[in-house]
Amino acid sequence: MELDRNKFALAAAVTVGLISLLCAALVAVAPELMVQLAGWLMHLVNLEAAQVTFQTALFGFIQAFIYTYIGAWIFAWLHNKFVKKA
């Protein structure tokens, strides 16, 4: 089965973008807890200076969307190449 690269990448990008917005909302509501959780996830990262505003949340969403779209498109392309060889 061949994946539609654009549809797959768009679905993945929207998913990660929404997760990014949820994360920003959680940081706004419970910053100390989220800094602790992120510190556990991203070892040795200084999150002390991080502040979430609408602008930073939007920029994070845009970055997550673009990076995920590109990564998912490449994933679908590779998947299709491997399926054709099998």
Average pLDDT, integer, range 59-68: 90
7-42 pLDDT tens trace: 999 999 999 999 999 999 999 999 988 887 777 766
Domains of the chain, residue spans = 5-85
Nearest to 59 by CA among 32, 31, 24, 33: 24
Burial of 40 (C-beta count, 10 Å sphere; 0-12/13-18/19+)? exposed
Burial of 24 (C-beta count, 10 Å sphere; 0-12/13-18/19+)? buried
Residues 7, 79 contacting (CB under 8 angstroms): no
Q: Model-level pTM greater than 0.85? A: no
